Amino acid sequence: MRVIIANCSVTYEGRLAASLPEATRLIMIKADGCLAIHADGGAYKPLNWMNAPNTFEELADRLVVRNPKGETLTVHLHNVISDFSHELGQDPGLIKDGVEADLQVLLAAMPETIEPGLVLIRREYPTAVGPVDLLCRDANGQTVAVEIKRRGEIDGVEQLTRYLDCLHADSSLGKIRGIFVAQSIKPQAKVLAESRKIGWCEVDYDELRGKKTDDLKLF
């Protein structure tokens, strides 16, 4: 992990043009090639980022990051305050609570309860930004990434969006869509998912364990 604190400005060229004016920010470069730019606020979400794989060109006054999709992020370094690297080592990954972990196991065994015709390809499918809970194939042969939460909130939709961005870079998977699954999903998360063409599904844990008989519904 490389961490830079600098007075910088940022320009992005790709699907659209965007820029950040000059200010002091935190720049994080992970060992896998991901780059994220943070302000001193806004919780966990970066102001701008580039998911791996990337190529880096480091010049005296700027850092140029490019990805295979033709996107370019240029960080103009006006004044570097701190620049250091530290090896974090292998991370054991997120340990999910019992209900969420059990949901993943149950849905992996019965993916058709999320959507009729859905077939499991693999659990914990690896990406550069973390593992997708379930990678499936639908009745039409399209790849489907499924993210499972106990409570469905906006950050879960954001997480699935990042996974989809990485998966789209793998041409062997073909066209990919996502489904966000939780026991209950907040209205704001449903709206965000729909705006990004991500499906969502509320499931009943007890039903999945065979304690209820009502059918699950995909919305």
- Same domain, yes or no: 103 and 164: yes
Question: Domain range holding 185?
Answer: 98-218
For residue 162, give the CATH number of its domain. Answer: 3.40.1350.10
Could you tell me the CATH number of the domain that includes residue 64?
A: 2.70.180.20
Q: Tell me the pLDDT of the chain (219 aa) as tens digits.
A: 999 999 999 999 988 888 999 999 999 999 989 999 999 887 678 899 998 899 999 999 999 999 998 999 999 999 999 999 999 888 776 665 557 888 999 999 999 999 999 999 999 999 888 899 999 999 999 999 999 998 999 999 999 999 999 998 888 899 999 999 999 999 999 999 999 999 999 998 888 887 444 444 444
Tens digit of each residue's pLDDT (9 = 90 or more) over 32-62: 899 999 998 876 788 999 988 999 999 999 9
Q: Which of 57, 85, 113 is the last residue of a domain?
A: 85
Same domain (yes/no): 136, 202: yes
Same structural domain, 102 and 154: yes
Number of domains in the chain: 2
Kindly list the strands in the beta sheet with 48-50, ordered across the sheet, starting from the edge strand earlier in the chain. Answer: 48-50, 35-38, 17-29, 2-13, 72-85, 62-66, 55-58
- Residue 92 is assigned to a structural domain of this protein: no
User: Which helix H or strand E contains 158, and what residues bound it?
Assistant: helix 154-168
Shared-domain flag, residues 24 and 105: no
Whether residues 114 and 41 fall in one domain: no
- Read off the pLDDT of residues 125-134 as tens digits, 9 standing for 90 and up: 998 888 999 9
33 shares a domain with 106: no
Residues sharing a CB contact under 8 Å with residue 73, sequence separation 6 or more, in sequence order: 10, 11, 12, 35, 48, 50, 64, 65, 66
3-state class (DSSP) for residue 93: coil
Percent of the chain, pLDDT > 70? Answer: 93
Q: What's 53's DSSP letter?
A: S
pLDDT in tens, 88-98: 888 776 665 55
181 shares its domain with 208:
yes
